[in-house]
């Protein structure tokens, strides 16, 4: 049974889901954009017989507190710092790490800082290589290199309803993706200050790409057992990003599933089976 909890971290209410036996290995699941821990709602029941599962919402996402962007630094360094303190508050210092989308830089920043915390890694469309960047990133590079208020405002389309629905459904067969996930994500976009905090993070994403060599160095030096499972039709983080892990880590298995960015929406049971088989 999944339980729904909130804990104070740095004076912020951080929401998280927890399931499984605390005496079994812990797996921490780091969600992506524009979602929150509900993206793991189908995966957690499939894994709770083998793992103790923790899935937090970052500040500014889901059910966690969302400070005003003028009073809180919405950067990936800051989110990873808060998530690290969240884990310390729960006395979690040895865990399997599942990263997806935004969860990849957040999780890998924690891994770089605390390599002894990480037992194994599952990266599901969680990119840390130039090879994994789809064509949209060229446009974002122009925004990062030459930022203007007009360009910043244009990125509100990244969380328009039609964009969010497309993130879920592109690359999947018609009728196989439930509307539950994307409708909840769309509902969250109506929260106060949502657009500004997300635009802050879109601008800061450039620093994640600059950190790719640091993440790759972590892999080379620590050689964690890593499962790269990818929705192969994802246009945002393309599947060569999964294959690229093999350049730096000899303990990698790559599995491609016939899905898009949010592969758990269609392949939660399949991905759970892959995790249990590999680990």
Kindly indicate the confidence band of residue 122, based on its pLDDT and cuts at 50, 70 and 90.
Answer: very high
Residue 84: pLDDT over 90:
yes
Supply the angle between the helices 161-169 and 179-188 in degrees, to the nearest 10. 150
Mean pLDDT of 104-113: 98
At residue 226, the pLDDT reads 98
Residue 136: pLDDT over 90:
no
Region for residue 51 given its phi and psi (left: phi exceeds 0; alpha: psi -120 to 50; beta: otherwise) = beta
Alpha-carbon span 1 to 147, nearest angstrom:
46
Residue 109: pLDDT over 90:
yes
Task: Clarify whether 261 is annotated catalytic.
Answer: yes
Mean pLDDT of 69-96: 98
Alpha-carbon span 255 to 14, nearest angstrom:
32
Per-residue tokens: 101:
């989308």
The pLDDT tens digits of the residues spanning 18-43 come to 999 999 999 999 999 999 999 999 99
At residue 277, the pLDDT reads 97
At residue 190, the pLDDT reads 97
Q: Tell me the pTM.
A: 0.97
Any bridge partners for residue 198, and if so which? none
Residue 4: pLDDT over 90:
yes
CATH of domain 3-278: 3.40.50.1820
The pLDDT tens digits of the residues spanning 242-275 come to 999 999 999 999 999 999 999 999 999 999 999 9
For the chain, the structural domain boundaries read 3-278
Mean pLDDT (the chain) is 97
Q: Which of 31, 52, 261, 267 is catalytic?
A: 261
Instruction: Yes or no: say if 245 and 255 are a contact pair by the CB < 8 Å rule.
Output: no
Question: 238 to each of 1, 94, 122, 143, 155, how far by Cα in Å?
Answer: 34, 30, 16, 21, 21
């Amino acid at each position: 049974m999944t339980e729904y909890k909130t804990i104070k971290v740095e004076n912020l209410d951080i929401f998280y889901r927890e399931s499984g036996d605390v005496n079994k290995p812990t797996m921490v699941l780091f969600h992506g954009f524009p979602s929150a821990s509900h993206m793991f709602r189908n995966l957690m029941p499939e894994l709770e017989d083998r793992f103790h599962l923790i899935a937090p919402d970052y500040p500014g996402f889901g059910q966690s507190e969302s400070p005003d962007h003028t009073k809180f630094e919405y950067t990936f360094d800051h989110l990873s710092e808060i998530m690290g303190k969240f884990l310390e508050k729960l006395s979690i210092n040895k865990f399997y790490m599942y990263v997806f989308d935004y969860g990849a830089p957040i999780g890998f920043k924690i891994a770089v800082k605390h390599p002894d915390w990480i037992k194994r890694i599952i990266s599901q469309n969680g990119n840390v290589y130039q090879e994994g960047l789809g064509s949209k990133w060229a446009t974002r590079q122009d925004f990062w290199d030459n930022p203007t208020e007009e360009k910043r405002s244009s990125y509100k389309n990244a969380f328009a309803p039609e964009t969010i629905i497309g993130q879920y459904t592109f690359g999947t067969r018609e009728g196989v993706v439930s509307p539950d996930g994307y409708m909840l994500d769309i509902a969250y976009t109506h929260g106060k200050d949502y657009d500004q905090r997300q635009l802050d993070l879109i601008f800061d994403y450039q620093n994640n790409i600059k950190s790719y060599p640091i993440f790759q160095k972590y892999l080379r030096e620590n050689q964690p057992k890593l499962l790269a499972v990818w929705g192969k039709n994802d246009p945002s983080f393309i599947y060569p990003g999964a294959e690229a892990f093999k350049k730096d880590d000899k303990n990698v298995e790559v599995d491609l599933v016939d899905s898009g960015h949010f592969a758990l929406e269609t392949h939660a049971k399949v991905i759970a089976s892959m995790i249990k088989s590999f680990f």
